Amino acid sequence: MNGPALNGVALKGRLLDLVLVLGGLLMIAPLVWLIVTALSQPIDAFQLPPRWIPRPPTLENFQQVPDLIPFARMAWNSLQIALITTAGSLLTSALAAYAFSRLRFPGRDQIFLVLLAALVVPVQLTVVPVFILMRWLHLVDTSVAIWLPALVNVFGIFFLRQYIASIPRELDEAAIMDGAGHFWILFRVILPLARPGLTALGIFVFEASWNNFFWPYIFLSSPEKMTLPVGLVSLQGAMGGGPAVVLFAAITLVVLPILVLFLIFQRSFIASIASTGLRA
């Protein structure tokens, strides 16, 4: 390859880097503006053009949040539901994914197609029959009504099936020759190799449960049992004519746990998404 061609490739690479940097800045700008507004004085929050550095920064907005809603209680409710949902969903998804990828039984492919068809059904269409079922079980206004229907995650089954299907079957055959059963193979051979996929799915499920508003809003009525997304709506109504920066501070407190979770597991998350797409 001659010099002009190399220069052209280098120029295209720099242009691509510039486009990616601009795209990244546009994506992160709302998050930065959220945090800056939460740290700003009410009089400086919505100036045009907006300030990207609060002067002076203040934590008073965060201190006012617990005075308006029981933030700590709602955070505990959200965390409890999210952890139970994530752990249960990972377990059921791993069991189902192993069955659909490794076991052979009549109607396997047809059942899997029916499961995939469930992905296109909006959750709003299922709320009435689920509500009737939960009322019959006397679970309305309990956290069980939130995490129990979420234990079966169709996307999680599909996601892990694609990942497990990429693991060589020779490992299973070697374990079977040593006398291992399906549960031993799943928990001692398959899942350790599928750890990046489990990490990515765990982040997806935790984020969806943590930010879930519709389901808790329908099934929970007691203030002491409400979750953070419902609490933010209550806070918005309680603010009235008060400063909106307090609401921004509450939203920041809700967003930060998910951001920290992603930063901790970002390598496994990105690696699993990339490898699953290639192996599918």
- For 193-245, how does the pLDDT look when each residue is reduced to its tens digit (9 = 90+)? 888 888 888 888 998 999 898 999 889 888 888 898 888 887 766 555 556 78
Maximum average pLDDT range among 53-57, 58-62, 157-161, 168-172: 157-161
Residue 3 has pLDDT above 60, yes or no: no
CB-CB neighbours of 47 under 10 Å: 9
Task: Please state whether the predicted TM-score (pTM) of the whole model is above 0.85.
Answer: no
Q: Which pLDDT score is estimated for 9?
A: 61
More confident residue, 4 or 60: 60
pLDDT tens-place string over residues 172-196 = 878 888 777 888 888 888 888 888 8
Nearest CA-CA partner of 172 in 269, 273, 104: 104
Looking at residue 279, its pLDDT comes to 47
CA dist., res. 152 & res. 145, Å (int):
13
Average pLDDT over residues 22-41: 83
Per cent of the chain over pLDDT 70 is 86
Q: Check residue 44 and report its DSSP letter.
A: G
Distance of CA 136 to the CA centre of its chain: 30
Instruction: Give 99-132 pLDDT, tens digit per residue.
Output: 988 888 888 888 888 888 888 888 888 888 999 9
pLDDT at 86 over 90: yes
The closest alpha carbon to 186, from 98, 90, 83, belongs to 98
Length of the chain, in residues: 280
Task: Report the distance separating Cα 206 and Cα 211, nearest Å.
Answer: 8
> One-letter amino acid identity for 39?
L
Residue of 125, 155, 131, 156 lying closest to 145 (CA atoms): 131
Q: Which residue has the tokens 């940097």?
A: 21
User: Do 251 and 35 form a contact (C-beta atoms < 8 A)?
Assistant: no
Whether the per-residue pLDDT at 269 is higher than 70: the answer is no
- d(Cα 136, Cα 132) in Å, to the nearest integer? 6
Look at residues 143, 153, 242 and name the one whose alpha carbon lies nearest to residue 203.
153
Task: Tell me what pLDDT residue 280 has.
Answer: 43
**For position 277, what pLDDT does the model report?**
47
The three-point CA angle 177-178-181 to 5° equals 85
Distance CA 280, CA 276 (A): 6
Alpha helical stretches, state H, the chain: 3-38, 60-68, 71-102, 108-117, 123-136, 144-147, 154-165, 170-177, 182-185, 191-193, 195-210, 214-219, 228-239, 245-264, 266-279
Q: Which residue has the tokens 């995650």?
A: 153
241 SS3 class: coil
| Residue with more model confidence, 279 or 123 | 123
CB neighbourhood size of 175 (10 A): 17
Say whether pLDDT at 10 is over 80.
Answer: no
Q: What is the pLDDT of residues 46-58, one digit of tens each?
A: 776 767 777 777 7
Residue 107: Cβ-neighbour burial (10 angstroms; 0-12, 13-18, 19+): exposed
pLDDT at 125: 86
pLDDT at 1 over 80: no
Q: Give Rg (Cα) of the chain.
A: 24
